[in-house]
Structure 1
Amino acid sequence: MFKITLIITLALSSFFYAVNAQQKSKNPDLSEAKKAIAESNRVYFQAFVKNDPAIFINRYAKDCWIMPPNAPAMQGADAPLKFFKMAYDKIGLRNGKFITLDVFGDGERYVTEVGLWKSYHANNKLFDEGKFLVLWKKTPAGWKMFRDSFSSDRHK
């Protein structure tokens, strides 16, 4: 009986060691993606400060979807310009801030960013804030927003 228990214990120990080693080898290196996301987020709102849609458009993949709350999704290469104009001209967005809470994914083709955002009017007055979920895609031009979904924490 002792031999059987010993064999089972050794087999289970070997199994759990192998699973743990395999899990560790699957942990992707997200440093490149995290660095690119941080840089993109750093300049994102400069588009509104400078009223320069080119800065904004460059954050997105050509096949992106921007999914604002209470509105249809905007899709494709013209979606970022369409959204920029709406946010700048109709909403009055002039600055903002992203707070990244987590980044996860394979680190090779896609990663997901989870975070919080704040939006400011021209007089630097906070007018909205909420949370976001962005699926980033690695393109030949670097990491770009592929799916951008966000919602307000404020009741309107």
Structure 2
Amino acid sequence: MAVKAFIAEKHAEWSTFMKEGNTTDLATSHFAEDCKIMPPGFQTMNGRDALQKYAEYIIASGCTGGSVTTDEIDPVAESAPVGTIFWERGHYVYYKACDAIMETGKYVALWRKLPGGKLEIYADIWNSTNSCSIIDPMAQVASKKVRGSIKMTD
């Protein structure tokens, strides 16, 4: 399967997992065990467990689903061998109840090819295009409902 088609399939799975609230499969089927995620308003988070807790936080904030769209993707020419690391740039939408838009944004991700051809996300950074992120991390600090369980850095 071509890289772009594989990643498009993974994005479709991500949308399904978000809609179902399935944070376990979202983390394990898309991201490297040692992944680095850099969501808006947070420090870098390390590993699938942190990613899963962040996804739980997003859902607790009212997100009922989302979509991810690749705008461009290419291999990193300096990777050894060439074709083992790909960069991707795109945009996303988070939805709340009744499919109303909760947040829109853009992202850059690094995908790593494993032996056997499977790709997984090693690093992912995204930013809201809203004037301030609707998923406001500071609004959750007082409640500590979800944020208190997120390990911010190693």
Residue of structure 2 equivalent to 1:131? 106
Structure 2 length-normalised TM: 0.75
CA contact (8 A) 2:15 2:68 kept: no
Work out the number of aligned pairs and report it: 125
Amino acid at match of 2:97: A
Give the % identical residues.
25
Residue of structure 1 equivalent to 2:62? 92
| Higher normalized helix content (fraction of residues) | 1
Partner Cα distance (2:38, 2:72) in 1: 20
Which ranges of 4 or more aligned residues in structure 1 deviate by more than 3 Å? none
Q: Which residue of 30, 37, 46 maps to 2:7? A: 37
CA contact (8 A) 1:102 1:114 kept: yes
Q: Which has the larger radius of gyration?
A: 1
Residue of structure 2 equivalent to 1:76? 47
Q: 1:109 aligned to 2:79?
A: no
User: Where in structure 2 are the equivalents of 1:134-153 lying within 5 Å?
Assistant: 134-140=109-115, 142-153=118-129
Partner Cα distance (2:98, 2:109) in 1: 28
Q: CA RMSD in A?
A: 1.6
Partner Cα distance (1:45, 1:108) in 2: 26
Residue of structure 2 equivalent to 1:19? none
Partner Cα distance (2:97, 2:32) in 1: 28
CA contact (8 A) 1:100 1:113 kept: yes
Residue of structure 2 equivalent to 1:4? none
In the TM superposition, what is the alpha-carbon distance from 1:140 to its structure 2 partner?
4.3
Gaps of 5+ in 2: 77-81, 133-154
* Residues 48/103 of structure 1: CA separation in 2 closer, same or farther (3 Å cut): same
CA contact (8 A) 1:45 1:94 kept: no
Partner Cα distance (2:8, 2:54) in 1: 21
Residue of structure 2 equivalent to 1:13? none
Gaps of 5+ in 1: 1-30
Greater RCO, 1 or 2 (C-alpha within 8 Å, sep 6+): 2
